[in-house]
Structure 1
Amino acid sequence: MATSRPAALTAITALTALAPISWGTTYAVTTELLPADRPLFTGLIRALPAGLLLLALARVLPRGAWWWKATVLGALNIGAFFPLLFLSAYRLPGGMAAVVGSVGPLFVAGLAAVLLAERPTLRTLLTGIVAAFGVSLVVLKAAGALDPLGVLAALASTASMSAGTVLTKRWGRPEGVGPLALTGWQLTAGGLLIAPLAVLIEGAPPALDGRAVGGYLYLALANTAVAYWLWFRGIGRLTATQVTFLGPLSPLTAAVVGWAVLGEALTPVQVVGMGLAFGATVAGQLRPKAISRPRSFSFSERNARRDSMDVAGEPLRR
């Protein structure tokens, strides 16, 4: 259930934002530390060990319908998303996959209207367009021929993650199950779906040196186990639209890391794009206020209302 307290909402939003910020470091880690051209193996190492670790910590397995629900969510958020994302990144010119991915808020707004009854506002739609435009200014390089398969994979990866986000919000969690267990279920299911593809397409695992081991440890622990736990925790407490508008922080972080760590230059156009995308991210966290007519209470009603509230102004649970 989404919280209404401003301080708590800000804290939850900030913690959830750490997930896409962490994902923005993936490109630098992959290019600098990991073996080349092994996207499926990298996706497998990111997902399966992280999922098994969280399962060991949570010590809770799905029950009943949650076996198939966890499998569906794991396929959408991890098992299908990772391979499609990597495929699009390899087949499209610089940054185009990120631009297609940045329309995720619009995908989520449409799905949330159907599955969650979250009616998209004009502000939400305009903010989504501004976010995508800002990201395009940041990541697009010199124009190149668009590969149809790459575009289709990018769209499919965005749709997969968007559907996973909305269904995670719609289904919630079983009674007594925390976000740690739910994250572990999805990462494990997604990793198991990627495993046969990695073996069939890429063959045996590559030889790893110390740098690669360190890179994979970072991706599995901080970039996946912790980041996805924060992400799914945020989905449970924010609206689906609020969560997905944090997504542009990932390409923005990648651009900043490229500038600060890899020595890549940032042009004035990219800086403007970063400002637009970040502004859209902040605007996406604002919820429309419900308009209601103030009611006048009698003295006795005011006393009864005060006695029914706790010190934080929240109704007491009796």
Structure 2
Amino acid sequence: MSRQSDILLTALAPAIWGSTYIVTTEALPLGYPITLAVLRALPAGLLLLLLTRNLPNRDWLGRVLVLGALNFAVFWTLLFVAAYRLPGGLAATLGALQPLMVIALSFGFLGTPIRAAAVLAALAGLGGVALLVLGPEARLDPIGVAAGLGGAASMAAGTVLSRRWQPPVSPLNFAGWQLTAGGLILAPVALMFEPSLPPLSALNLSGLVWLGVIGAAGTYVLWFRGIARLDPGTVSMLGMMSPVTAVGLGWLWLGQALTPVQAIGAVVVLSAVWLGQAANRTRPSPKPRPVY
């Protein structure tokens, strides 16, 4: 399969993640973020394990727990904290720092050279996301800002380490391991700190099925497949598709206004994503040897 096809398939994951906001606010009960994260991750992970019927061996358990924590448990928890304490635009802008973090972590863990064009693309994407989602009501809550930065760092580290630690299994299996680990880590946290869910309606169950089967099982298979086949910097830039999709769905589905500034921001983000692919194509980083 060509590199362009790999990029398009990987980009589907963050594009679908952009639907998370509208599904969460319109179809799920509010006030149960960690419980809903468990219900999104754990069933999806168990479904993938059922399909693959392959569990990690003892040598891989530690790595899988670390990756499950970074990519899901820590990331989703901090993401919800940032979302609750900050305007959505500011939380999304902090999350857009992730590609810059991936560039730095890839240099440290993978020996990937830092390319000026890739840094420029990441900065342009950050500015585009700010134009797209950042409003005048933005306020700086210290805990919210720390959570937003911590969530971006957690996902960046998970992306780079998922590239460094490539098990001899399919992306379907690798995604199942990590989703299950993340769900198991979050489950006791939800039981300790959140009340029981109310009875779920058909709409609630439909939202959970979408976020679990499509927004977790399906998308993370594509995401980890992309990490295995593409440069981490390339993959992290594709994550900026998520706020573009979120704003587009808000405009099409909820009738939210789309200002000229937001339209310019969307164009800047898409241009930055293209520039990021071009920058990483010119001098691709060497593929790491799998760790068995």
Alignment TM-score, normalising by the size of structure 1: 0.87
- 1:244-259 to 2 correspondences below 5 Å: 244-259=236-251
Query: How far apart, CA to CA, are the structure 1 residues paired with 2:138 and 2:222?
Result: 36
Partners of 1:107 and 1:159 within 8 A in 2:
yes
- What SS does structure 1 have at the residue aligned with 2:2? helix
- Residue 60 (structure 1) aligned to one of 54, 63, 68: 54
* Structure 2 letter corresponding to 1:191: G
- 1:62-77 to 2 correspondences below 5 Å: 62-77=56-71
The yes-or-no answer on 1:166 pairing with 2:154 is no
Query: How far apart, CA to CA, are the structure 1 residues paired with 2:91 and 2:36?
Result: 18
Q: Match of 2:86?
A: 92
Alignment TM-score, normalising by the size of structure 2: 0.95
Task: Give the CA deviation at 1:142.
Answer: 2.4
* Structure 2 letter corresponding to 1:50: A
Query: How far apart, CA to CA, are the structure 2 residues paired with 1:110 and 1:133?
Result: 19
The yes-or-no answer on 1:289 pairing with 2:282 is yes
- What SS does structure 2 have at the residue aligned with 1:263? coil
Q: Match of 2:288?
A: none
Number of residue-to-residue matches in the alignment:
282
Query: In angstroms, what is the RMSD of aligned CA positions?
Result: 1.0
Query: How far apart, CA to CA, are the structure 1 residues paired with 2:136 and 2:23?
Result: 23
Partners of 2:65 and 2:178 within 8 A in 1:
yes
Structure 2 residues without counterparts, runs of 5 or longer: 284-292
- What SS does structure 2 have at the residue aligned with 1:61? coil
Q: Match of 2:114?
A: 120
Write the deviation string for residues 226-251 of structure 1: whole angstroms up to 9, x where unpaired.
Answer: 00010001000000000000011000
Task: Give the CA deviation at 1:206.
Answer: 2.4
Partners of 1:35 and 1:212 within 8 A in 2:
yes
The yes-or-no answer on 1:216 pairing with 2:176 is no
- 1:13-162 to 2 correspondences below 5 Å: 13-162=7-156
- Kindly name which structure, 1 or 2, has the bigger radius of gyration based on alpha carbons: 1
- The structure where helix makes up a greater share of residues is 2
Query: How far apart, CA to CA, are the structure 1 residues paired with 2:234 and 2:124?
Result: 15
* Structure 2 letter corresponding to 1:206: P
Task: Give the CA deviation at 1:196.
Answer: 1.0
The yes-or-no answer on 1:271 pairing with 2:258 is no
* Structure 2 letter corresponding to 1:231: W
Partners of 1:93 and 1:146 within 8 A in 2:
no
Query: How far apart, CA to CA, are the structure 2 residues paired with 1:85 and 1:94?
Result: 10
- What SS does structure 1 have at the residue aligned with 2:57? coil
Structure 1's consecutive aligned runs of 4 or more residues displaced over 6 angstroms after TM superposition are none
Query: How far apart, CA to CA, are the structure 2 residues paired with 1:262 and 1:196?
Result: 35
Q: Match of 2:182?
A: 190
Q: Match of 1:236?
A: 228
Partners of 2:125 and 2:272 within 8 A in 1:
yes
- Residue 203 (structure 1) aligned to one of 195, 212, 218: 195
Query: How far apart, CA to CA, are the structure 1 residues paired with 2:73 and 2:186?
Result: 6
* Structure 2 letter corresponding to 1:89: A
- What SS does structure 1 have at the residue aligned with 2:268? helix
* Structure 2 letter corresponding to 1:254: A
* Structure 2 letter corresponding to 1:289: T
* Structure 2 letter corresponding to 1:42: L
